[in-house]
Structure 1
Amino acid sequence: MNSTAPWSAPARRSRRLALVASGATALLVLAGCAAGDGLGTSPGGGGGGDDDGGGAGGPIRIAYLATGSSLPLFLMAEKYAEEVGIEVEMVEVSSGNDSITGVATGQYETGFAGIGSAAYNAFAEGLPVRYVAPMHAGYIEDYFILSSQVAGSFEEAASVAEDMSDYAGETFAVNGPGVVTEAVLGFALERVGLSIDDINLEYIPFPDQVPALANGGIVGGVLSEPFPTQAEGNGAGFRPWETPDTAPIPFTGILFNTDWAEANPEQATDFIRAYAMAAEELATGGWDTPEMLDLVEQYTGADPAVVAASRQHHINADLSVDLDMVLELQEFYMERGSLNYDEIIPEEEIWDFTWRDAALEN
């Protein structure tokens, strides 16, 4: 394991792939997985495309969530798709699980979701779905927040977080099981002297965690922006740590239906070309320029002032992914019992960079 992983999780032993037999159908497996990707901030209008979309000559149907972390997709669709000569159809869905299910079953050609148990289970079931590029990355320090009933300022939160072993048995929250935010909470708790098995874990949507922090209903939680910034702004809670100057953790990824991508390699590669252009612009210019704030408002309805005040998301301009970091996520889900198989799958089998590499060559 890479010892530089930013959550300082203990090293875990990787094992040879040996999937357990499963009698469940693919759709039942997906339906039993995580309720969301852990990073969506609003319910979608969810629809799905019609049967004549996608494929050579047709629009590429893209499942997205109305959240600021989807900005690379928004920018790609609005600015770079036409430049590379592709037509895209943006379809809002209500959760990362909807995105994974839709991509795996061919309802959408591509989409994004958090790096969570649903995608791993879909791969293990043999469905034609792979991560092909990163979406956004972030930091434990930006997501983990403590109730103002526990710490009434940043300084107090930092002091409390030095050792929270006395809070064993208390309630913490994330927005869903088997999602990346649950892993982030687990890594944060290790840092403060607890484990996720030591606490009472509740699953509460991000917006509802803010009042729960304010009234002490939860000791702490993991929230995606803009909700931590909103909580600090209204005094509901405070983050104990500043954003570090280290590599961020991959949180979400772009998924392909690989049956489509293999049948339409030029279209799939052109999609990644346009997406890479968007990633480079965000990596070099930032996520909070007026143009980017306008795009986020257009797709999500979020107040640009709130988004501008939030801690930024991150993406690598070269669409690189630290698979050692990602492996620790899979190992966390394995330990939590969220996976429908009993041996670690090498991340190189989950991530297929064929189309990314072809796009970057051009």
Structure 2
Amino acid sequence: MRKSILRKAGRPGSGLGLAALLCVALAGPGHALDQVNAAASGTSSDVGSFIAMKKGYFRDEGLDVKQTVFDSGIKMIAPLGTGDLDVAVGSATAALYNAVARGIGVKIVASNSNAPPGYGHNVLIIRKELVDSGRYKKPTDIKGLKVAMPSQGSSATAMMYSYLTMIGLKFSDIEPVYLSYPNQVAALANGNIDLGLTAEPQASQAIKASGAIRITADDVMEPNHEASVTIYGDTFIKKRPDVAQRFMRAYLRGQRFYNDALKDGHLAGPNADEVIAILTEMTSIKDPQVYRSIAPQGAEPNGTLNIPSLKVDLAFYREQGWIEGNVTVEQAVDSSFAEKAAKELGPYVRKK
């Protein structure tokens, strides 16, 4: 039985290295799976992990991944530090860097989502009434307006800072309001905020529900911005490094499968139908057409981090007084798991 599994999994083009093949063979009946406790946002930003779950990549590696949904990446840091969580997907927040500065064991281990040109997944939208009344005519007219972002010290705040700098304004020129993405949709509709920097598909929902108007997206605000990352807890890294490595292999297989769904700024590639089916099953958005119409996030198939982007974000957090102590991006990063997994899986070749 094991030989037949190995022959099937190891066929040319399968993208599985020898270590992964051995895990496939060992994950059959009679072998207990290693449990991994993961944090998720429950949105399309978790697509790589969703794919790894639904396609059986985690099980191939002998893993049983249990996901807990958090409404903010900031709330993931404490349980990662205590070992209650093993892995999380979220933005590289000020809270994460503060945890590192205090000696709490959390590490950014891989890229999760980014914003290459054409893949503007985080969208800045404005209330239609402000456009109709003439209050907003040009980008600098956002001065003095209430702008919603998911949380203080999130990568979205840094992205907004980059955009404000681009148009000649300061972060202090806006009134920041911190709301989760779903709550931004309602707040725009009832006039409690003026603009929202919100992720798809919530941005499209707000446009459809309240007539909100799209201004720009993150691929223009800060091209190739490191929007979200994969984070490991110190206990996971030090006490279960083999499990952590197997998780990364499965996760990168999910990211590569997702990349094969991307084409021309949409989910329109060879794997698009399967990815959309997974997203409609695993998220609250049940209309496949929504995912076909929006700009999806970009994803790095080898998990390679955009270190310069992380440094820009950290510099902004420090400028705002949100960083406690002296900490660098390098202190917060451990790219060894992604580098090893990418080598084990072999070079990524886009499916045509």
Amino acid at match of 1:322: N
Q: What are the ranges of 5 or more consecutive residues in structure 1 without an aligned counterpart?
A: 1-55
Aligned to 2:247: 271
Counterparts of residues 202-221 of structure 1 (less than 5 Å): 202-214=177-189, 216-221=191-196
Q: What are the superposed Cα offsets for residues 43-97 of structure 1, whole Å, 9 maximum, x if unpaired? A: xxxxxxxxxxxxx963111111211101111111222112233332223333322
Is the 2:89–2:231 contact (alpha carbons within 8 Å) kept by the matching residues of 1? yes
Amino acid at match of 1:264: R
Structure richer in helix, relative to its length:
2
Aligned to 1:326: 310
Aligned to 1:354: 336
Residues 234 and 261 of structure 1: is their aligned pair in 2 closer, same or farther, counting only changes over 3 Å? same
Output the CA distance in 2 between the equivalents of 1:347 and 1:58.
Answer: 31
Matched, 1:224 2:206: no
SS at match of 1:207: helix
Is the 1:157–1:240 contact (alpha carbons within 8 Å) kept by the matching residues of 2? no
Q: What are the superposed Cα offsets for residues 251-284 of structure 1, whole Å, 9 maximum, x if unpaired? A: 1111112232223222211111111111111122
Aligned to 2:110: 133
Is the 1:210–1:236 contact (alpha carbons within 8 Å) kept by the matching residues of 2? no
How far off is 1:103 after superposition?
1.4
Is the 1:149–1:213 contact (alpha carbons within 8 Å) kept by the matching residues of 2? no
Residues 84 and 336 of structure 1: is their aligned pair in 2 closer, same or farther, counting only changes over 3 Å? same
Identity of aligned residues (%): 22
Amino acid at match of 2:177: E
Matched, 1:74 2:50: yes
Q: What are the superposed Cα offsets for residues 195-224 of structure 1, whole Å, 9 maximum, x if unpaired? A: 111122222332333344345543322111
SS at match of 1:251: strand
How far off is 1:299 after superposition?
2.2
Aligned to 2:299: 315
Amino acid at match of 1:115: A
Aligned to 1:146: 126
Aligned to 1:83: 60
Output the CA distance in 2 between the equivalents of 1:158 and 1:171.
Answer: 13
Find 1:233's aligned residue among 208, 216, 231: 208
Q: What are the ranges of 5 or more consecutive residues in structure 2 without an aligned counterpart?
A: 1-31, 345-352
Matched, 1:249 2:225: yes
Amino acid at match of 2:49: L
Is the 2:120–2:295 contact (alpha carbons within 8 Å) kept by the matching residues of 1? no
SS at match of 2:279: helix
Find 2:257's aligned residue among 274, 277, 281: 281
Residues 185 and 157 of structure 1: is their aligned pair in 2 closer, same or farther, counting only changes over 3 Å? farther
Residues 328 and 220 of structure 1: is their aligned pair in 2 closer, same or farther, counting only changes over 3 Å? same
Output the CA distance in 2 between the equivalents of 1:214 and 1:98.
Answer: 27
Is the 1:171–1:201 contact (alpha carbons within 8 Å) kept by the matching residues of 2? yes
Aligned to 1:107: 84
Amino acid at match of 1:179: S
Matched, 1:172 2:147: yes
How far off is 1:107 after superposition?
0.4
Residues 101 and 308 of structure 1: is their aligned pair in 2 closer, same or farther, counting only changes over 3 Å? farther
Is the 1:149–1:214 contact (alpha carbons within 8 Å) kept by the matching residues of 2? no
TM-score (norm 1): 0.75
Structure possessing the higher radius of gyration over alpha carbons: 2
Is the 1:184–1:222 contact (alpha carbons within 8 Å) kept by the matching residues of 2? no
TM-score (norm 2): 0.77
Output the CA distance in 2 between the equivalents of 1:353 and 1:244.
Answer: 24
SS at match of 1:66: coil
SS at match of 1:169: coil
Aligned to 2:138: 160
Give the count of matched residue pairs: 300
Aligned to 2:276: 293
Output the CA distance in 2 between the equivalents of 1:228 and 1:157.
Answer: 21
Residues 351 and 301 of structure 1: is their aligned pair in 2 closer, same or farther, counting only changes over 3 Å? same
Q: Bigger CA drift: 251-260 or 324-333?
A: 251-260
SS at match of 1:59: strand
Output the CA distance in 2 between the equivalents of 1:157 and 1:72.
Answer: 41
Aligned to 2:101: 124
Amino acid at match of 2:162: F
Is the 1:137–1:250 contact (alpha carbons within 8 Å) kept by the matching residues of 2? yes
Is the 1:99–1:111 contact (alpha carbons within 8 Å) kept by the matching residues of 2? yes
Output the CA distance in 1 between the equivalents of 2:190 and 2:38.
Answer: 39
SS at match of 2:129: coil
Is the 1:144–1:188 contact (alpha carbons within 8 Å) kept by the matching residues of 2? no
Amino acid at match of 1:82: R
Aligned to 2:348: none
Aligned to 1:15: none
Is the 2:181–2:198 contact (alpha carbons within 8 Å) kept by the matching residues of 1? yes
Is the 1:135–1:315 contact (alpha carbons within 8 Å) kept by the matching residues of 2? yes
Structure richer in strand, relative to its length:
2
